């Protein structure tokens, strides 16, 4: 991957770490001087300043200091003047906004996500070799890599599209999380903007999801709705996928990826149910019921199409959404789900070598690759090499490993012991199972 990053960099690498970007756009305030002769009895109303009336230099500065791709799109689409400024400086503006919106700790995964597509090939024997070589370099360069100072237009455009998809998915996952409080079932009352640390956790999880899907797509998902080259990949088993990729991260980082997996799984399940009548009309022999194995296999297939397919569905009309889902009605292997269920050999060996639980402590939310306090709460302040535990599914849907300690305190989490919460949930499951086995299955 090092060679690929050199190609997309037009001016070498920067020798310093970029500062963490601020959450807000700085807007210049133009003071208006009040006339001394103005009647004191008449309330003074300052004139409105127009963004389009600013000098061209300031218009450029406005675009360069926008904090994310979505905001840039809205302004450029709304204003012909700013659209003209953007067209003249497209590469520089896109590059700056990307560095404004992507946390410095996430840039490595972001670049890896766009360069991972180089592993796609129709040569079956070469496919696995490329994946392993890519991941070996990905592992070796993680701690020494510095972001390129400048990007070529093709790379910056691809990264801008992907970052827009990541940002949209992050916002939607947060919306889902805020609508359900796992401990009492109510909506979350306090919905402040994400902190820089929270955005870092969300974005790195989505970029790693993209990397996983690109590297480990099966032969079916490579040749369909993404409209790529029809590449085919030989299957790697779940242990190999876990050992090659998931073992590179801390357990809480893998749990972040599991949260993203659950988000997409639930998203596609809702979409298939929403359009079930239309899909059934087109495919009378298809069984989309919750208790049928076909539904789960189809959801796994749709997830493997990664962020690009997801975003395509999101921005499409209902008719087009049905068309895309119908095009993707096929069964796929549970690639990510099985990898999350299968510990890597390194994790197994490390677990077997540990005689006593290793106590760990929260070091703060700003620590790179550090855990959040909620993950510690679920493990009893001990090192736990497990992840994707079924008991924590409601917590994953709530994004429990993403939130800062300060936000959790405002929400009053945790107000009870984790074991107490787990036991209450088991009691609910037992009651639901007694009433209706299918209902209990949905709660797992």
pLDDT score, position 440: 44
Q: Where are the alpha helices (DSSP H) in 179-275?
A: 196-216, 238-244, 251-274
Give the separation between CA 98 and CA 66, rounded to whole angstroms: 9
Q: pLDDT per residue over 365-421, tens digit each?
A: 999 888 999 998 888 888 887 788 888 888 898 899 999 999 888 887 877 777 777
CB 254 within 8 A of CB 340: yes
pLDDT score, position 58: 92
pLDDT tens for the chain, 444 residues: list them.
666 555 555 444 444 444 444 443 343 333 334 444 444 555 554 555 577 888 889 999 999 999 999 899 999 999 999 999 999 999 999 999 999 999 999 999 999 999 998 877 766 678 888 899 999 999 999 888 888 888 888 999 999 999 999 999 999 999 888 877 776 566 666 678 899 999 999 999 999 999 999 998 765 444 443 334 444 445 688 889 999 999 999 999 999 999 999 999 999 999 998 998 898 888 887 777 766 667 788 888 899 999 999 999 999 999 999 999 988 787 667 788 889 988 776 666 666 566 677 888 899 999 988 899 999 888 888 888 778 888 888 889 889 999 999 988 888 787 777 777 777 776 776 676 676 654 444 444
pLDDT score, position 227: 36
Q: pLDDT per residue over 239-269, tens digit each?
A: 899 999 999 999 999 999 999 999 999 999 9
pLDDT score, position 64: 94
Q: Calculate the alpha carbon distances from 327 to 226, 283, 331 in Å.
A: 11, 11, 12
pLDDT score, position 25: 38
Query: Domain coordinates of the chain in residue numbers?
Result: 24-34+45-101, 107-341, 354-443
pLDDT score, position 352: 58
pLDDT score, position 1: 64
Give this prediction's pTM.
0.81
Give the separation between CA 266 and CA 169, rounded to whole angstroms: 13
Q: Calculate the alpha carbon distances from 430 to 155, 317, 418 in Å.
A: 52, 41, 19
Q: Calculate the alpha carbon distances from 109 to 78, 142, 220, 242, 245 in Å.
A: 32, 9, 26, 17, 13
Q: Calculate the alpha carbon distances from 365 to 98, 99, 193, 300, 375 in Å.
A: 23, 21, 16, 32, 12
pLDDT score, position 283: 84
């Amino acid at each position: 991957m090092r060679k690929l990053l050199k190609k997309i960099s037009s001016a070498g690498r920067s020798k310093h770490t970029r500062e963490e970007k601020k959450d807000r756009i700085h807007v210049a305030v133009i003071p208006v001087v009040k006339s001394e002769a103005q009647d004191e009895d008449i309330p003074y109303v300052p004139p409105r300043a127009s963004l389009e009336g600013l000098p061209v230099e300031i218009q450029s500065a406005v675009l360069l200091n926008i904090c994310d791709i979505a905001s840039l799109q809205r302004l450029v689409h709304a204003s012909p003047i700013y659209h003209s400024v953007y067209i003249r400086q497209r590469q520089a503006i896109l590059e700056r906004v990307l560095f404004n919106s992507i946390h410095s700790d996430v840039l490595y995964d972001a670049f890896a996500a766009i360069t991972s597509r180089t592993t796609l090939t129709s040569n079956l024997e070469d496919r696995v070799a490329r994946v392993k070589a890519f991941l070996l370099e990905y592992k070796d360069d993680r701690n020494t890599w510095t972001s390129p100072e400048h990007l070529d237009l093709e790379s910056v455009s691809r990264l801008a599209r992907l970052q827009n998809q990541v940002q949209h998915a992050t916002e939607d996952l947060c919306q889902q999380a805020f609508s359900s409080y796992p401990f009492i079932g109510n909506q979350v009352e306090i919905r402040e903007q994400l902190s820089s640390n929270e955005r870092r956790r969300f974005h790195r999880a989505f970029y790693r999801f993209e990397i996983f899907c690109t590297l480990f797509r099966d032969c079916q998902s490579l040749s369909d709705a993404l409209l790529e080259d029809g590449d085919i990949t030989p299957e790697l088993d779940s242990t190999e996928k876990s050992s090659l990729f998931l073992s590179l991260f801390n357990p809480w980082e893998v749990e972040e990826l599991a949260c993203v997996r659950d988000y997409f799984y639930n998203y596609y399940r809702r979409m298939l149910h929403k359009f079930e009548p239309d899909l059934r009309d087109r495919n009378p022999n298809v069984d989309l019921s919750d208790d049928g194995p076909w539904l789960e296999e189809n959801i796994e297939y749709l997830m493997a199409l990664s962020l690009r397919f997801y975003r395509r569905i999101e921005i499409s009309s209902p008719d087009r959404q049905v068309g895309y889902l119908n095009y993707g009605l096929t069964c796929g292997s549970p690639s990510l789900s099985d990898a999350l269920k299968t510990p890597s050999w390194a994790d197994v060996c490390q677990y077997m070598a540990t005689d006593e639980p290793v106590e760990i402590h929260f070091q703060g939310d700003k620590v790179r690759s550090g855990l959040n306090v909620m993950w510690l709460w679920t493990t009893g302040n001990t090192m736990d090499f497990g992840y994707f535990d079924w008991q924590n599914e409601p917590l994953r849907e709530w994004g429990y490993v993403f939130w800062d300690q300060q936000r959790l305190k405002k929400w009053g989490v945790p107000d009870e012991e984790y074991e107490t919460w787990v036991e209450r949930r088991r009691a609910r499951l037992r009651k639901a199972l007694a009433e209706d086995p299918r209902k209990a299955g949905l709660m797992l």
